[in-house]
Structure formats: C-alpha cells, structure tokens
Amino acid sequence: MPGRTLGEEMTKILRFTSAPVAVLLVLLTVITMVSGVTTLFIHYFPAVPPTSTMTTACGAEYLSPNPTTVQEGSSGQISFRCSDANPAFTISGGVFSAMPDFSYYGSFPAPYSTLWIYQSDGAVTTGACADRTAARQLESRTIEVDMAPFNYNYCAEYANVGSGGLPAFTVYWFTVPGNVLFYHLAPAVPTPATMTSTCANSSLIANPSAVDPGSTGQISFQCSDTTPAFTISGGTFSAIPYFDGSGFAAPYTTLWIYQSDGGTTTGGCTGRTGARQLTSGVTAADIAPLNYSYCAEYANVGGGGLPAFYVYWTTT
C-alpha cells in the first residue's frame, strides 16, 4: 500500500478537529516533521480582570436627599445620592468588602432607625428600603462582605419626625485593613417651611401702648410680651403682605418686620436685627426662619393718636 503524502495527513487532521485547534495542530505537525521537534504541551492564558474597587463621585461632600423636606410627625424613608446623575458609590471589577461607620460621632441620630444601600439603577428604587433592588441593611462598624459590582445609593428609615426635621450624619467607609476609602455627609433635611402666628386673626399688642400728640418715632407690634407676631420655620419662606386700604395711613410712614429675639429690638426700625421694610402687595422673598414682630414708623402724631390697621399675608 503506497505511503500517504504530507498533504493527505493534513487533510485527515482537519476533517476531525475544530478549525482553531486544527490550525494549531497543523502548524505543530509541520514544525515537528520539518525540524524534528517534539511538542510537550500547550498553555492557554486567561483574561485577567481589574482589581475590584469602591469609588464615589462625591467623597467628603454633602449628598443629595430625596425628598428634600419631610413632614413633621411623619415616618418613612429617604434616599441619598451624589446627584441626579451620580450614585452614592460604585463597586466595579468584582465583589468588594468594606466596613461602614455611621456612628463615628456617636450613635446614629434619631429619628433615623436603620440605614441601607440598594442598587441605584435597579428595578425597584422607591418605597420601603428593604424592598429595593439588592437592598442590604448596614450595620455600623461591621464589614459588608462581597458587595456585588453595581451602583449604589443609601436609603434611611425614620419615624416620628420632630419640628427640626432629620439631622445630619456622616458615613465613613474603611477597607478591611482599616484604611479610609472615603466618607459621605448626609445633610440635615428640614420640614417644609411654614409661616405661623399664635394670634392669627386677632389683635396685636402695641409697645408703647400710647403715643404723645405731635411726636415722631416708631412703635412695635407683637402677639404678646413673650410671643412674636409670627414665626418662620423649616427654611426660608416667601409671602406677600397687604396693608393698602387697611387703615395704614398718616401719621404712619413705613412698616417693617424685625427679629423679635435678635440682638437689637428697640430704637429705629431700620436698625433692628433682621429688619426688612414691607411694601404692600410686594413679595417679601426668602424670609429667614426666625421669630418676627412689626415695627412701624410715624411722624407728627395728631390729637387722635395712631389709627388702627391690619396686615394680611398670602403665599406666593
């Protein structure tokens, strides 16, 4: 039987092997037959992934809360992230282990009760913290093992919010050996801004309670000796005062508000703490959260004294 040629041997090999391996074997066969070298074995080198990391776009900066205010007396949950476009942090390159510490300055502050992380671009990103995608409750100073490579935000649960809203807190993240990765500042979250009065729709008291005919000066008005005319709380507030056609007339000249428990609460209206002149029908914008009383200036009081008037406030 005649011997097979080299081409016949190559054809037989290719017929019974897959294409990539066949090519390699053909080359080895040719090299072996031509040079006489014997193949010992083959090594295949795997892909090597990057080292896993835990990073943030806003370390040592205030996080963005959602919602931005909470109702007094309410219970629920609030989310924190770097921004609308950036999660609080990202795990990449594989699972990662790290230790959160959110009691660095003491205990986790009430009315907060629990702190969680969840997948920020997951299927469920609202509602109860425990029900969100990849939700994991954090324990302060306890290692969170094998966090999967995703983008994460925080979710905090709270109960029975007081008038001061939710307090600020800080979350530090440490690697297992103890090195600080980064920390986040969760800002205080106020209750919605309000403007209230303890004597709404009733008469204020005047100080002084009488003025001399022919005199020029200023007079204060508040709910009582110990209670301001009104209070702004929960953040700055904008409102419109109206007093044209309400009796505000000569000898009155100008009407002001000032901080009733400020440093200067007597003397000229303009020199009092937080003094702001009011114009009827014009918005008094961004009034700071403080206690306020009124101060009115007058000139050359007649024999009838100062007339009665009223101010009503509307929201913008």
Residue type present at position 86: N
Q: What phi and psi, each to the nearest 5 degrees, are found at residue 34?
A: -80, -45
Q: If you search the block for the tokens 């022919």, which residue do you land on?
A: 214
Are 88 and 153 within 8 A, CB to CB? yes
Contact between 149 and 76 under an 8 Å Cβ cutoff? The reply is: no
Share of the chain above pLDDT 70, in %: 87
> Which of 32-46, 205-219, 265-279, 300-314 has the weakest average pLDDT?
32-46
pLDDT of residue 12: 46
Report the pLDDT averaged over residues 122-149: 97
12-21, 41-50, 139-148: segment of lowest average pLDDT:
12-21
Write out pLDDT tens, residues 265-305.
999 999 999 999 999 999 999 999 999 999 999 999 999 99
- pLDDT bin (cut points 50, 70, 90) of residue 25 is very low
Q: Per-residue pLDDT for 129 more than 70?
A: yes
What per-residue confidence (pLDDT) applies to 24?
46
**CATH number given to 53-186:** 2.60.40
Between the two ends of the chain, the Cα-to-Cα distance in Å is 106
Mean pLDDT of 63-73: 95
Measured distance CA(257)–CA(267) in Å, rounded: 13
The domain ranges of the chain are: 7-35, 53-186, 194-315
pLDDT of residue 29: 53
pLDDT, tens digit, 9 for 90 and up, residues 224-242: 999 999 999 888 899 999 9
Mean pLDDT of 109-138: 98
- Predicted structure pTM score: 0.66
Q: What is the mean pLDDT of the chain?
A: 90
